[in-house]
């Protein structure tokens, strides 16, 4: 299984530029003029398409790392107990049928 990795400086810059271009495209699509003019709407869609292409040029493992960081997740560690499937190992429900 591939692990996520921290993006390089160049990759981070590319991801940031992609985010800015995506914001510009989304704002352009929501603009009043783009609802009237098809040329303005096309320009906004082109910005979004370019942002996606730029983002996909960065390796997936680096993109995942940045997504986890922005979402507030920490890397590594255990997220669930070993017996998270509900099977009791000890305690008052062990070996009881209901």
Q: What is the pLDDT of residues 20-67, one digit of tens each?
A: 999 988 888 888 877 787 787 888 889 889 999 988 888 888 888 887
Q: Is residue 64 in some structural domain?
A: yes
The domain tally of the chain equals 1
Domain that holds residue 63: 9-71
Q: Is residue 41 in some structural domain?
A: yes
pLDDT of residue 53: 92
Q: Is residue 4 in some structural domain?
A: no
pLDDT of residue 4: 79
Q: Is residue 45 in some structural domain?
A: yes
Q: How far is residue 54's CA from residue 86's CA, in Å, rounded to a whole number?
A: 44
Q: Is residue 55 in some structural domain?
A: yes
């Amino acid at each position: 299984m591939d692990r996520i990795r921290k993006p390089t400086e160049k990759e981070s810059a590319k991801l940031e530029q992609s985010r800015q271009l995506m914001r510009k495209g989304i704002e352009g699509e929501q603009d009043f003029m783009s609802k009237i003019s098809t040329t303005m709407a096309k320009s906004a869609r082109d910005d979004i398409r370019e942002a996606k292409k730029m983002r996909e040029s960065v390796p997936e493992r680096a993109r995942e790392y940045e997504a986890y960081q922005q979402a507030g997740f920490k890397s590594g560690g255990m997220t669930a107990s070993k017996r998270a499937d509900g099977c009791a190992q000890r305690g008052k429900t062990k070996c009881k049928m209901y």
